[in-house]
Structure 1
Amino acid sequence: MNCMNQLRIAWLLPTAGLYWQPLLSEFTRLFPQTTVFAGLFPGFIHGFEESFLLKEVGGMKVMGRNKPSKTYSSFFTYLPPKIIVQLLDFKPNVIFSNAFSLWTLLALLFKPWGKWRVVIICDGSSPGVDYQGSWFRLLLRRIIARITDGFITNTSAGKAYLTEFVKARENSIFARPYLVPDIRALSQKSEESKLDKVKQQHPVFLYIGALFPRKGLHKLLKACSMLQTKGYQDYTVLIVGRGTQHQELESLVKTYNLDNQVKLVGFVEYGGLGTYLQNADVFLFPTLEDVWGMVVPEAMAFGKPILCSKWAGAVEMVVDGENGYVFDPHDSEELAELMIRFINNPDLINKMGEKSQQIMASHTLEAVSNSLADVVEFVWNGQQKTV
């Protein structure tokens, strides 16, 4: 097939998060015959309706999920095997499939019949999802890697895991951030009226994400209590999100006497997050473990300096001392000292925020789509990578 843009591309995404939509929309511009198959789909973001073809397969079930903890919970995701019928009907040339899922395994098993190529989407690496201590899982992943045509991963840590543990061919791995934000998607809805009701003191430190132990918010509040002890009270921490730890965090705020500094905002729709990102001075990401951390590049796109946990995959986007600081989330004292730097030196906020935007200038949706086009060409034509 001479015209690459005429290739039929399938994306297999068990849970297609909202942040995927700008990328899938841009990718479809390059490959019009793209279809996204999703187990669960939250609906289109305003402005992205019909920007790519979606088929919701349904039938996804999560089994054996443990109570939220300080690491990724172990669970099994059941995905309906009827996806194969739909793929054989669609006849894709290339399939992008999420991680080492059942759909990925089925796509690989039916490769001889479908005559398609398979690219595995591996967001990154972290102890809770790598299963380095499970010989069975590693063996299965190594077998899968031998018959997979290519991999994409956001991080160099993801590439290291794939080469060192999964034993994937190094030249088949494309490591660069592909989960990058679109400011338009985050700015579809104004939240200013809600935000105006929140009493704030600058600098404003912002966290966006789920509220459960793995996100390290209890360590953040401990750091804030240390600021109180040191006499720092003129700042605000906004916590945006919902989760099982909400009540516990509210209790900690009262225990540490942080009612004037820490505000639990609650859930905000994806299209309204831009209001909070624009309002913030510094973005905080104290996670104890995250394969990626989409909120980090989202905040950087809005020109914010980042205080990022060293256990987040997206920490690779932070140049320590230039567009933010990297810290150990288990060390609340270290986090408190870094927050004090911004409180005492507000000039750092604009300086580091500008650096964040400079870094994001090379991580556009267009650049990512062109990179994915290189992946498609590599697996379809069997060419060696040139970058």
Structure 2
Amino acid sequence: MKKLRIAWLLTSAFYYWQPTMKSLSQLFAETKVFTSRWHGYAPGLENSFQVEVVGERKIVSLTKSEQSYGDNFTYLPLTIIKPLFTFKPDVIFSNSFGMWTLLVLLLKPIMRWRVVIAYEGSSPGVDYRHSAPRLALRRMMVSLADACISNSQRGGDYLKTVLNCPPEQLFVHPYEVPLPHILAVESPAPDESLTNRVKPPLKNDSACVFLFVGGVIARKGLNFLLEACRQLESQEKGNYELWVVGDGGQKADLECWSEEQGLKERIRWWGRVDYAGLGSYFHQADVFIFPTLEDTWGMVVLEALVCGKPVLCSQLAGACELIQEGKNGFIFDPREPQILAQKMAQFLEQPSLAAILGEQAKTLMEQYSPEQAAQFLGRVAETLCPLSTP
């Protein structure tokens, strides 16, 4: 066990962060997550890493956009200072360019800790390329940081070419990755505490099940996926179902539209499902579809791949970099539903295609495990503090 003290500052330590935090804690016992939004440990990861909740975050929406993240400001409690002083980390990984990142950068000369800016990925709604004040502040923060990391090459390019991160201080590798066994629930045992929304019935073996998981909001592009289904229906393309797992402001309107278009028997609306129940949906589906109009990363893509499902992935998601065309899925422009319909039709015309691509999907994810993500973070930390390990 290595002796480096590592702090992770996460505005929201949601479940998809936790597999890597567990593996990092197994490499560096003195690893601690500080967060302002805590949902509890993911099932199977209870007490697998240290966590301290520091106040509550407040998100102020400056401008709203239906098809983008919009312009937001996140207030984070300044009380983070005392816990960090007590913990005395050698290296701090701080998520994005928020208040906590700025604070730890300004305190660097006093505390002598090393600071890594973790930028999940690049997208128009979070890059602020047309905001001179924001870019100036971010460039200043990058100049003060010891290193920057990103899940995607797209995020790395933004850090390097827009924010002027020196190449030798930039590290790119997926670090938000799922743990397979958390989602490995193919047929949950009967549990009276679970609703039918958590435990779906067994699929009809004769139908190809396409799966969507996400918020039913404009940014996620579900309306384009439904239009692709309408086109499949008009072409009488095979036997399939679309399972929609999620909830949001567009749900009622899209359900109504689907019925009007004759898709009532094709679309199954499951509503919101607890994270512990998602594995059943992933495993019963044949193909996962992610039609997002903007996502810096897209963890659901990796969750589908690790479950051995091919993915039809929007080119506007950071995680599309993991899709190898024709090997573990296909990439498409979500604003062209006719193209998406053609790609969906391939799985209907070639029933064995989903299984073939699914096996390759699972093989690909072997190189993106939480253990490898933790090793990547460890290499970054040790590069900054080479004398802190035995």
Both structures adopt the same fold (TM-score exceeding 0.5): yes
Q: Indicate the percent of aligned positions where both proteins have the same amino acid.
A: 42
Unaligned runs of 5+ in 1: 383-387
Q: Aligned equivalents of 1:171 and 1:153: distance in 2?
A: 14
Residue 226 of structure 2 corresponds to residue 250 of structure 1 = no
Moved more, 349-358 or 216-225: 349-358
Moved more, 125-134 or 346-355: 346-355
Q: Aligned equivalents of 1:233 and 1:222: distance in 2?
A: 16
For 2:111, which of 100, 110, 114 is the aligned residue?
114
Distance 1:339 1:294, change over 3 A: same
Q: What is the CA-CA distance between 1:241 and the residue it aligns to? A: 1.0
Q: Deviations over 1:310-337 (max 9, x none)?
A: 0010000000111111100000100001
Distance 1:233 1:346, change over 3 A: closer
Contact 2:19 2:45 in 1 (8 A): yes
Q: What is the CA-CA distance between 1:170 and the residue it aligns to? A: 1.1
Residue 190 of structure 2 corresponds to residue 165 of structure 1 = no
Q: Aligned equivalents of 1:187 and 1:268: distance in 2?
A: 16
With CA pairs under 8 Å and 6+ residues apart, which has the higher RCO, 1 or 2?
A: 2
Contact 2:5 2:90 in 1 (8 A): yes
Distance 1:290 1:191, change over 3 A: farther
For 2:311, which of 300, 306, 315 is the aligned residue?
306
For 2:149, which of 132, 148, 152 is the aligned residue?
152
Q: What is the CA-CA distance between 1:47 and the residue it aligns to? A: 2.3
Q: Aligned equivalents of 2:382 and 2:340: distance in 1?
A: 44
The aligned counterpart of 1:190 is 188
Unaligned runs of 5+ in 2: 191-195
Q: Deviations over 1:91-117 (max 9, x none)?
A: 111001000010000010011111100
Instruction: Kindly provide the amino acid, as one letter, of the partner of residue 216 in structure 1.
Output: G
Q: Aligned equivalents of 1:97 and 1:196: distance in 2?
A: 42
Instruction: Kindly provide the amino acid, as one letter, of the partner of residue 369 in structure 1.
Output: A
The aligned counterpart of 1:214 is 219
SS at match of 1:132: coil
Q: What is the CA-CA distance between 1:185 and the residue it aligns to? A: 2.0
Q: Deviations over 1:229-275 (max 9, x none)?
A: 11125100001111121112211211211111111111111111111
The aligned counterpart of 2:336 is 331
Q: Deviations over 1:59-96 (max 9, x none)?
A: 21111265561111211100011101211121111001
SS at match of 2:71: coil
Q: Aligned equivalents of 1:317 and 1:5: distance in 2?
A: 31
Contact 1:159 1:175 in 2 (8 A): yes
Q: Deviations over 1:105-153 (max 9, x none)?
A: 0010011111100011111100110011111111111111111011111
Residue 48 of structure 2 corresponds to residue 43 of structure 1 = no
Distance 1:271 1:229, change over 3 A: same
Contact 2:184 2:283 in 1 (8 A): no
Q: Aligned equivalents of 2:189 and 2:128: distance in 1?
A: 41
For 2:172, which of 172, 175, 186 is the aligned residue?
175
SS at match of 1:133: coil
Distance 1:201 1:254, change over 3 A: farther
The aligned counterpart of 1:62 is 59
Q: Aligned equivalents of 1:190 and 1:309: distance in 2?
A: 30
Residue 355 of structure 2 corresponds to residue 357 of structure 1 = no
Contact 2:184 2:307 in 1 (8 A): no
The aligned counterpart of 1:348 is 353
* Equivalent residues, number: 380
SS at match of 2:278: helix
Contact 1:22 1:185 in 2 (8 A): no
Contact 1:183 1:274 in 2 (8 A): no
Contact 1:220 1:286 in 2 (8 A): yes
SS at match of 2:77: coil
Residue 374 of structure 2 corresponds to residue 374 of structure 1 = no
Q: Aligned equivalents of 1:356 and 1:233: distance in 2?
A: 24
Q: Aligned equivalents of 1:234 and 1:65: distance in 2?
A: 45
Using structure 2 for the length normalisation, give the TM-score: 0.94
Distance 1:54 1:333, change over 3 A: same
| Moved segments of 4+, more than 4 Å | 65-68, 197-201
Q: Aligned equivalents of 2:358 and 2:183: distance in 1?
A: 18
Contact 2:61 2:71 in 1 (8 A): yes
> RMSD in angstroms over aligned alpha carbons?
1.8
Q: Aligned equivalents of 1:197 and 1:303: distance in 2?
A: 18
The aligned counterpart of 1:294 is 299
Contact 2:64 2:71 in 1 (8 A): no
SS at match of 1:40: coil
For 2:93, which of 88, 96, 121 is the aligned residue?
96
SS at match of 1:15: coil
Contact 1:200 1:236 in 2 (8 A): no
Distance 1:175 1:131, change over 3 A: same
Contact 1:9 1:31 in 2 (8 A): yes
Distance 1:252 1:199, change over 3 A: farther
Contact 2:178 2:302 in 1 (8 A): yes
